[in-house]
């Protein structure tokens, strides 16, 4: 049996908000999910960071979104996690704009040529 704490509930809400495209929901639960973000489970933290990045992206905060996504991508590459890398690619695909800002181009450069 696993313990299901308030922090895990908040992390689940963040993930659901990201999948539903509800940036306000993500922002409301972000502080409550801080315990999960400081846990020792780096892969879980990276997936949660990507969910938060999706929320920032949906809210139009590109710098924060791609900064978080880049940190999560580094974790995915370090652990050779295809799941994390694919989720990072999904975050990138969700951005569409005429000319990507520098932070997006930097993210693209890091993602370019990654095969897991």
The DSSP secondary structure of 14-44, one letter per residue, reads HHHHHHHT-HHHHHHHHTTTHHHHTSS-HHH
**pLDDT score at 68:** 93
H/E stretch holding 96: none
Distance, CA of 69 to CA of 66 (rounded, Å)? 5
Instruction: Say if residue 50 is exposed, middle or buried (CB neighbours under 10 Å; 0-12, 13-18, 19+).
Output: buried
**pLDDT score at 76:** 95
Block residue for tokens 């996504």: 69
Decide if 72 contacts 31 (C-beta within 8 A): no
Question: What does the pLDDT profile of the chain (116 residues) look like in tens digits?
Answer: 677 777 777 778 878 887 887 878 777 776 776 766 776 689 989 999 999 899 889 888 899 999 999 999 999 999 999 999 999 999 999 998 888 899 999 999 999 988 75
Upper half-sphere CA count for residue 101 (Cβ side, 13 Å): 11
**pLDDT score at 89:** 94
- Residue 8 DSSP symbol: H
């Amino acid at each position: 049996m696993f313990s299901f704490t308030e922090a895990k509930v908040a992390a689940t809400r963040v993930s659901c908000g990201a999948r539903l495209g509800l940036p306000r929901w993500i922002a409301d639960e972000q502080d409550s999910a801080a315990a999960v973000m400081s846990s020792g489970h780096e892969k879980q933290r990276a997936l949660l960071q990507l969910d938060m990045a999706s929320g920032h992206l949906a809210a139009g905060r590109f710098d924060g979104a791609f900064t978080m996504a880049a940190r999560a991508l580094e974790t995915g590459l370090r652990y050779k996690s295809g799941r994390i890398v694919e989720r990072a690619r999904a975050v990138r695909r969700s951005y569409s704009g005429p000319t990507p800002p520098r932070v997006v181009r930097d993210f693209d450069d890091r993602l370019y040529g990654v095969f897991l």
